[in-house]
Structure 1
Amino acid sequence: MKFILQRNPQISSVRHEFHSITPQVTCSSNSSSEEFMRKMLNRRWTLMNPDTKVHQIKVSSMQTQQHFGPFGKVTFSNNSNPLLGENVRKWHNDESSFYIVRDDLLHPLVNGNKARKLDALLPLVEDHSGTDMVTCGGCQSAHAAAVAVSCAERGLKAHLLLRGEQPQILTGYNLISVLYGNVTYVPRSIYANREEMLSSHANSIGGCVVRLNDLLNASTNHNSVKSNFLDTDDGQSLNSRKTVIVNEGAGDAIALPGLIRLVQYLSQDHIFGKDQPLKIIVDAGTGTTAVGLGIGALCLGLPWEVTAVMLADTIEGYKKKEESLISELCLSFNLPMMHNGLVNWVERQHPRKFGNVLKGEIEACQQIAQETGVLVDPIYTLAGWELASQLSQQERKGGAKVVMIHTGGTLGMFGLAQRYKSYF
């Protein structure tokens, strides 16, 4: 059976200043879309349910404002209980606004796309008797902290390799990582070769070492993962440790079902439904979240366009990552898929070296927090907010609705306050 995702003519690509690319996607499969979703979603999950809150942000222009703020004359207000379902289609863009999916509220410490990526990942590790997990990230890595907290909650041990030197004062996600996991600070020269670094550290823990893709392939093909466990006569293992390697940012194929599950939830009739054209906006670190959202929209036949603001790589790098993730997923689930652009990758409004904070961005985060109660950070989620705000002002009456996915990570502001004291 062949599925073709056709872009609604009303959903225009982002304007040229964002260097957009209009996606065209073809998905070929021997299974029906229902079979694809069954394979993706018929599993144990970390989150008891995929529910999330949806707010609506009104974007206003103050004609009488004398002093411009970080967004010029633009101000924001938050409707934390908007009318959804059929009301989404009935509402017209007489006033600029966009919806925001508040995944930052999923968990006090494990939220946003980190929670979605771990949604299918952690049960897979448990199903294959994993005892330890090794992953890596920056000193203020929200991913590393999320792995540490989630492992502790489930009785697993987390080993975190953090890039650089230990700060004099532990704050934010760095503090959370130290409290919940086993942290090792790694020189940047060694961290540059992540695969070798992760493998070496995992082997030093002892026991069996496996990668997530091995577990995924074993799970979907009903095979067992080879291990060096030696069973005794009483059925107990002499070495019961099994260490699972998780790539930086959980940029693995097994992270995709959690995002597909989110798309299925949002496409329910009482949320956004399946017929309303949407522009989904998300910030992109590894790009895994955007790819998962795109796959979900494709296989559910939704008229949704996924646009990802590139933050950590070139467009060629993100396209390569997209191709790799889709290939891994389809290979694991025996689902042939052809594609030539599932995600619309765009440049940030103010491109810069990843991790740097520009003048005015802290003030922008402050304005958003004070006017809406929504906390964003200048590295990731501010980029999504900026684009969602701009697109909401461009959309005409009856066009696509703009939806920003809040990917969490806001505790990283504590680390930024250490590095950029003059901005706070």
Structure 2
Amino acid sequence: MKLQRLPITMSRGFHSHAHLPRGPQGISEAKLGCEEFLVKLLDRRWTLVSPDTKIQQIMLPPERIKDEDGPLKDKSWFNMPNPLLGDQITDNSGPDSSFYVVRDDLLHPLVNGNKARKLDAVLPLLEDHSVTDVVTCGGCQSAHAAAVAVSCAERGLRSHLLLRGEQPDILTGYNLISTMYGNVKYVPRSVYANREETLKTHASSVAGKNGCVLSLTDILEAPLTKQSISSSHPISTSMDDWRSLGNFSRKVVVMNEGAGDSIALLGVIRLVHYLSQSHLLGKEKAMKFVVDAGTGTTAVGLGLGAIYFGLPWKITAVMLADTLDNYRERERRLISDFKRHFRFDLDHALREIDRGVVNWVERYHPRKADGPYPDVADFSGKIDTL
């Protein structure tokens, strides 16, 4: 995740809080209501002991000389592992002189950083409801599938991973990790295209005759004493029965591809709350976040957090796997589910959210699972255009 300080002239009018009504002391009343709501919402059990993350700064050379072939002749850059943050972030430098990198990749040796954030609130929910198995899906080198496999194994849960395509001759990367920690099944691309039905079918086979199948949405929408549970053979029971291991031999939860569920947003919002502390990025400075978007869940979580906390932050997501219309539709669905599941009813904030929280953009270069990546200096020169 990369972020950049915006100049003062660009910080005005961001939809994060520009249109919210203000109280007599100039403090947004809506902002206070949102913060109070989120503080209560974030008061829960988490997977990560702390939301802390490391922030590094990438400094570009003072002069960049273009050659006849490529964008930059001098591609040197400087990594500052302990940059000045908080009040020491200034507007003296131009918008393209440096950018920061949020090093969530250091959270876990095997779990990709933003995947750990999305699972931060999910895993305690599974434990609270005595889940025994998790079924999810992803590509052959899915970071999400590997994260679920490792995280479930650490908690004594069984993971069942439907991976798109054929088994490679040699297992490498996330595919190797998924195989080591989870139960992998390769699914033909034609079947994977209908992934929702494929997940349900496989979950039912995992549950067996005496098991039950539930989605994360089912858990979030259920009154604790009234929720009905479905299984491969219909079972009607209460959430109290769901909590009791004696009633079902297996309790299987289906997790969407990329953890694209509303509860996954909470872990990302928790990160926003951490980064907005005065000694880090603060709440007054305009920042531009640039994230890679698979399902887009991380980007939506950052955008919601920015609006709820009244932050002048702009979230730009570089689209990886889908069309602009589909990303916007997924954004609307996640926001709608979040408002419904967590009963957020501050109308003034909802109007802001309904206008969208993410700026979706096309990627400059096709993403590759292997092979050379564009030079960091080349990439950083493009950040300001996003």
Counterpart Cα distance in 2 of 1:126 and 1:77? 44
Counterpart Cα distance in 2 of 1:194 and 1:77? 44
Counterpart Cα distance in 1 of 2:342 and 2:123? 18
Select the residue among 251, 263, 285 that pairs with 2:272.
Answer: 263
Q: Deviations over 1:110-155 (max 9, x none)?
A: 1311000000111111111111000000110000000000000011
- Cα RMSD (Å) of the superposition? 3.2
Q: Deviations over 1:195-228 (max 9, x none)?
A: 100000000012110001111223xx54554334
Tell me by how many angstroms 1:103 deviates.
0.6
Equivalent positions of 1:66-85 (< 5 A) are: 72-85=73-86
Please tell me whether residue 226 in structure 1 is matched to residue 218 in structure 2.
no
Counterpart Cα distance in 1 of 2:245 and 2:291? 47
Higher RCO (Cα < 8 Å, 6 or more apart):
1
Select the residue among 251, 257, 263 that pairs with 1:254.
Answer: 263
Please tell me whether residue 208 in structure 1 is matched to residue 200 in structure 2.
no
Counterpart Cα distance in 2 of 1:36 and 1:151? 30
Counterpart Cα distance in 2 of 1:27 and 1:184? 49
Counterpart Cα distance in 1 of 2:66 and 2:91? 32
Q: Give secondary structure in 2 for the equivalent of 1:177.
A: helix
Q: Give the aligned partner of residue 11 of structure 1.
A: 10
Q: Give the aligned partner of residue 177 of structure 2.
A: 176
Equivalent positions of 1:5-154 (< 5 A) are: 10-11=9-10, 32-60=33-61, 72-89=73-90, 92-93=93-94, 96-154=97-155
2:52–2:274 CA contact under 8 A, matched in 1:
yes
**TM-score between both structures, scaled by the size of structure 2:** 0.82
Q: Give secondary structure in 2 for the equivalent of 1:183.
A: strand
Tell me by how many angstroms 1:316 deviates.
1.1
Counterpart Cα distance in 2 of 1:188 and 1:153? 30
Equivalent positions of 1:352-367 (< 5 A) are: 352=366, 362-364=371-373
Q: Give secondary structure in 1 for the equivalent of 2:61.
A: strand
Q: Give secondary structure in 2 for the equivalent of 1:104.
A: helix
Counterpart Cα distance in 2 of 1:236 and 1:314? 43
1:56–1:97 CA contact under 8 A, matched in 2:
yes
Q: Give secondary structure in 1 for the equivalent of 2:263.
A: helix
Judged with a 3 Å threshold, the aligned counterparts in structure 2 of structure 1 residues 113 and 64 are, in CA distance, closer, same or farther, namely closer
Q: Deviations over 1:213-261 (max 9, x none)?
A: 111223xx545543349899xx861533110000111111111000100
Counterpart Cα distance in 2 of 1:27 and 1:191? 43
Judged with a 3 Å threshold, the aligned counterparts in structure 2 of structure 1 residues 216 and 94 are, in CA distance, closer, same or farther, namely closer
Counterpart Cα distance in 2 of 1:237 and 1:229? 15
2:7–2:94 CA contact under 8 A, matched in 1:
no
Judged with a 3 Å threshold, the aligned counterparts in structure 2 of structure 1 residues 274 and 192 are, in CA distance, closer, same or farther, namely same
Counterpart Cα distance in 2 of 1:61 and 1:9? 21
Judged with a 3 Å threshold, the aligned counterparts in structure 2 of structure 1 residues 95 and 327 are, in CA distance, closer, same or farther, namely closer
Please tell me whether residue 335 in structure 1 is matched to residue 334 in structure 2.
no
Counterpart Cα distance in 2 of 1:97 and 1:236? 54
Select the residue among 390, 397, 405 that pairs with 2:382.
Answer: 390
Equivalent positions of 1:342-353 (< 5 A) are: 342-350=357-365, 352=366
Counterpart Cα distance in 1 of 2:97 and 2:7? 21
Structure 2 stretches lacking a partner, 5+ long: 1-5, 22-29, 230-234
Q: Give secondary structure in 1 for the equivalent of 2:199.
A: helix
Q: Give the aligned partner of residue 297 of structure 1.
A: 306
Q: Deviations over 1:158-207 (max 9, x none)?
A: 00000111111111000000000000011111111011000000000121
Q: Deviations over 1:246-303 (max 9, x none)?
A: 0111111111000100000000011011111101111111111000000000010011
Tell me by how many angstroms 1:40 deviates.
2.8
Q: Give the aligned partner of residue 253 of structure 2.
A: 244
- 1:284 partner amino acid: A
Judged with a 3 Å threshold, the aligned counterparts in structure 2 of structure 1 residues 236 and 24 are, in CA distance, closer, same or farther, namely closer
Counterpart Cα distance in 1 of 2:203 and 2:148? 15
Counterpart Cα distance in 2 of 1:254 and 1:191? 24
Tell me by how many angstroms 1:36 deviates.
2.2
Q: Give secondary structure in 2 for the equivalent of 1:309.
A: strand
Counterpart Cα distance in 2 of 1:249 and 1:40? 22
Counterpart Cα distance in 2 of 1:86 and 1:9? 15
Please tell me whether residue 198 in structure 1 is matched to residue 199 in structure 2.
yes
Q: Give secondary structure in 1 for the equivalent of 2:290.
A: strand
Counterpart Cα distance in 1 of 2:40 and 2:341? 11
Counterpart Cα distance in 1 of 2:32 and 2:285? 26
Counterpart Cα distance in 1 of 2:194 and 2:15? 32
Tell me by how many angstroms 1:24 deviates.
7.7
Judged with a 3 Å threshold, the aligned counterparts in structure 2 of structure 1 residues 63 and 300 are, in CA distance, closer, same or farther, namely closer
Tell me by how many angstroms 1:8 deviates.
9.6
Judged with a 3 Å threshold, the aligned counterparts in structure 2 of structure 1 residues 9 and 87 are, in CA distance, closer, same or farther, namely closer
- 1:114 partner amino acid: K
Q: Give secondary structure in 2 for the equivalent of 1:124.
A: helix
Tell me by how many angstroms 1:71 deviates.
5.2
Counterpart Cα distance in 2 of 1:159 and 1:363? 32
1:44–1:120 CA contact under 8 A, matched in 2:
yes
| Worse overlay, 298-307 or 335-344 | 335-344
Counterpart Cα distance in 1 of 2:297 and 2:39? 21
Counterpart Cα distance in 2 of 1:307 and 1:192? 27
Judged with a 3 Å threshold, the aligned counterparts in structure 2 of structure 1 residues 203 and 302 are, in CA distance, closer, same or farther, namely same
